[in-house]
Structure 1
Amino acid sequence: MEEILRKQIEKIVQLTDEEFRFVLSHFTVKSFKKHQYVLQSGNPAPNDHFVVKGLLKSFYLDEAGKTHILQFAMADWWISDPQAYHNELNATLNIDCLEDTDTYVISLDNREKLCAESRKMEYFFRKKTQAGYIALQKRIQSLMSQSAKERYDQFIHLYPQLSQRLPKALIASYLGISRETLSRMADH
């Protein structure tokens, strides 16, 4: 498991073995079962999760009870409720496991300590945050300007492995379309 986290970090910064041991000391390992909530709306969101194994989704329920999926996260991805995590607020999102999942967890306090002690890790988290903002901007632009078919094709192109692991209903929710619309597009 440690190697997966180290490879994730070393995509951006190189660490010595000693530096990596120091980084690792700021994380804890957590395991979750399929359908288990990692975070529920209304509760504190003290952790950011780096996925080692498994598949999760973050979503919120609107007032009518409709599910809106914001993100999926599989191995080598990060997931949290960023607003709640960084501002130490209660979550507005839910995160649950679509498969049995193992994560490395870092609290905001440990992240702040790690960044204060390691310029490399401060740089790493800054670059990850920037990438997250860019991905979010692209997602919003896609939802605002692309047709349902274009969004579906883009999803399949960007995440071919997810399309095999997810039920069509979840993909449809993520794309902001009905299950029926997705089925029609997928069949053509």
Structure 2
Amino acid sequence: MSIELRKHFEKITPLTDQEFDYILSHFTTKKLKKHQYLIQEEDTVTNDYFVVKGLLKASHIDKEGKEYIMQFAMEDWWITDYQAYFSQTTATLHINCIEDSELLCLSLQNRDKICSELHKIEHFFRRKSNLGYVALQRRILSLLNSSAKERYEQLLLQYPSLFQRVPKTLIASYLGVSRETLSRLSS
């Protein structure tokens, strides 16, 4: 598991073996089965999760029981309920496994500790946050300004492997369309 995390950090900043071993010592591991929840609404959120293996989804379920998928996370991605994680409050999202998953868990306390001790890691997380803000802005603008077909084509272009791994009902929910509309778009 540690090799994947090291490669992930080193996409942004090089690390010595000693630095990486120290960083890794602040993580714990977690394995979950398909359909198992990582976080449920109202849970206290103490960790950010790096996906070593598997696929997860973060979603919100409204009062009528309709699910809105906010994010998918596959290998080499991070996932948590960030509002709850950074404010140390309860979750407003559900995060569960679409596939069996292996995760590396980083508490906010440990994140703050390694960021304060290693400028490289603070830089890494700042860059990751900035990239996340950009991706979120693009997603919101896409939902506001793009047609369903354009959103479908963009997702297919960016993440073709998702279409092999995620049921079409979940892809439809992520795109904000019905399953029937998705079938028309993909034919």
Q: TM-score, normalised by structure 2?
A: 0.99
Counterpart in 1 of 2:109? Answer: 109
Counterpart in 2 of 1:145? Answer: 145
Counterpart in 2 of 1:120? Answer: 120
Counterpart in 2 of 1:136? Answer: 136
Instruction: Measure how far apart 1:69 and its partner are.
Output: 0.1
Alignment of 1:7-156 (within 5 A): 7-156=7-156
- The amino acid across from 1:123 in the alignment is H
Aligned equivalents of 1:128 and 1:106: distance in 2?
15
Aligned equivalents of 2:165 and 2:34: distance in 1?
13
Aligned equivalents of 1:40 and 1:130: distance in 2?
26
- The amino acid across from 1:134 in the alignment is V
Q: What CA RMSD, in Å, does the superposition of the two structures yield over aligned residues? A: 0.5
Counterpart in 2 of 1:185? Answer: 185
Aligned equivalents of 2:143 and 2:49: distance in 1?
26
Instruction: Measure how far apart 1:72 and its partner are.
Output: 0.3
Instruction: Measure how far apart 1:131 and its partner are.
Output: 0.6
Aligned equivalents of 1:94 and 1:17: distance in 2?
36
1:51-89 C-alpha deviation (Å, 9 max, x unpaired): 000000000101111000000000000001110000101
Secondary structure, aligned partner of 1:68? strand
Secondary structure, aligned partner of 2:63? coil
1:97-127 C-alpha deviation (Å, 9 max, x unpaired): 0000001100000000110111000000110
Secondary structure, aligned partner of 1:160? coil
Aligned equivalents of 2:35 and 2:165: distance in 1?
15
Aligned equivalents of 1:118 and 1:44: distance in 2?
27
Aligned equivalents of 1:164 and 1:22: distance in 2?
37
Aligned equivalents of 2:45 and 2:69: distance in 1?
18
Structure 1 regions of 5+ residues with no counterpart? none
Q: TM-score, normalised by structure 1?
A: 0.99
1:7-62 C-alpha deviation (Å, 9 max, x unpaired): 00000000000000000011011100111100000110110000000000000101
- The amino acid across from 1:86 in the alignment is F
Q: Percent identity?
A: 57
